[in-house]
A and B are shown apart, each in its own frame.
Chain A
């Protein structure tokens, strides 16, 4: 699955692409790369939904401070911008009550 994205990789990736899933859809991401960046480039623009109004959010700071990039990785809440891609990750949008919050 590849959706149109405003985030484009400058160079073709020279490292291995691995299969992961985002909200049950298969995606190929570059292994060892930053998860938030890879998801953005793959066209994902909704990382979490807020507890109060259910509005979607996407990475804001990319440096671990804002928590807008929260997703569940294999059931645990993680900051995507502080996480590296590994093979087989099951990634799910972060909503309240959808997994284990740290």
Chain B
């Protein structure tokens, strides 16, 4: 039996959870599909099962997610864990697999709350075992209580301070913190300082994290360039230039991070248009104030619609759900607007500090224009030089790279090379990222086995015969 829902939400992070709850409160039938074994997204990962010592290390911005996750335990929301959504069809049919068994359901509206991924940071040696994203280190801690010893953190952005401070609290401080933002970035960010002061809680948090890191005497280098990971079969060290001289620090793990970007895979696969955002240096889906895309019934909320962080994500999830309730006739337009007004206000306040943060911590310039020998597509081992060569041969956009080589054709489907390929081609061809475009994403957006497909077909046949 094909099951029908008013709303199918994809992703159980703050945006998906809030969206599901708001929609259920308006009387809609809701199915929440999430690929993780427990709700929370990456930010509140495993928060329901955390313990005292982990909570102390991770801090209150993590543990406050518990309330949100627990509010999901209600009869009128069906929540399926471990569900890999691999195809969305005709704007209303969702295919997913749980433990190797495929299912399909139909929805009047779909809310994509697929969150963010870390911006790829292609530097020499970034494919060596022992290199991972700073976010991955956090996931190890949240989910498994595992810390990285002997690690160096490199890149830019507030998350670096958070991860470093958490490592200090865990008794395994990083060997060093290499920051790529420069004094010029800091001065330029001052233009946005009034906004930052309106969102002052973010600044206060950042400063207190820095104080913790200083107190633990973690060596910090700022304005770092020429980051390279050294090693043969694994990370053996990290080298960089701090503006005065070259340094090398022996280490076993390198944690890289220079911001997060919307995970656009699901939205792209259903044909949602995306636009380049210069301030955040990434593509964002084209949506209206409610997160509605140009495709009827398809909404995007949370970091997947533009980076704003967990608080903003929850609020945009609520806004999307209110408009979905209006579309489906559960709310009138004026009722929707009345409920939305305080949420919009809160969201704007939360977003006030964003321009400052974006300008103070831009992506690492060397990783946006990597040297020729650096691998860009990790799956198929295509280098920056290869991509530049494609441009010389007339390649305009990422889709065409597939005619020249295999970039973006591996299992990650370009998730960790797409933005870099766009930027390299745009620079080489001297056209904008918007004109350059992005990979065309086709389903399945997650691998699905033949067995799963056959199983699905058999159930459908059986049902139509009955």
Contact = CB atoms under 8 A, between A and B. Distances in A.
A50 B377 CA distance: 12
A61 B117 contact: yes
Interface string A44-74: 0111001111011111111111111010000
A59 B146 CA distance: 14
Nearest to A51: B380
B342 to A, nearest CB: 32
A6 B412 contact: no
A64 B118 contact: no
A95 to B, nearest CB: 14
Interface stretch (B132-140, B313-321, B421-429): B132-140
B233 A10 contact: no
Given A34-B143, A67-B412, A45 B378 contact: no
Interface in B91-144: 117-118, 127, 129-133, 135-136, 139-141, 143-144
A58 B131 CA distance: 8
A6 B145 contact: no
Given A6-B253, A66-B416, A40 B147 contact: no
Interface string A19-59: 00000000000000110011011000111001111011111
Interface in A59-102: 59-68, 70, 76-77, 82, 84, 100, 102
Given A53-B381, A82-B35, A7 B140 contact: yes
A32 B365 CA distance: 41
Contacts of A82: 35
A37 B150 contact: no
A57 B127 contact: yes
A93 B263 CA distance: 28
B449 interface: yes
B251 to A, nearest CB: 9
Is the interface on chain B under 10, 10 to 19, 20 to 34, or 35 or more residues?
35 or more
Contacts of B127: 55, 57
Given A57-B127, A60-B132, A8 B146 contact: yes
Interface in B206-253: 233-234, 252-253
Contacts of B118: 61
A50 B147 CA distance: 27
B236 to A, nearest CB: 12
24 contacts: A6-B149, A6-B252, A7-B147, A7-B253, A8-B149, A10-B141, A10-B147, A11-B51, A37-B146, A46-B233, A51-B380, A58-B131, A58-B132, A60-B378, A61-B132, A61-B133, A61-B135, A62-B136, A63-B42, A63-B117, A65-B412, A67-B410, A67-B411, A102-B449
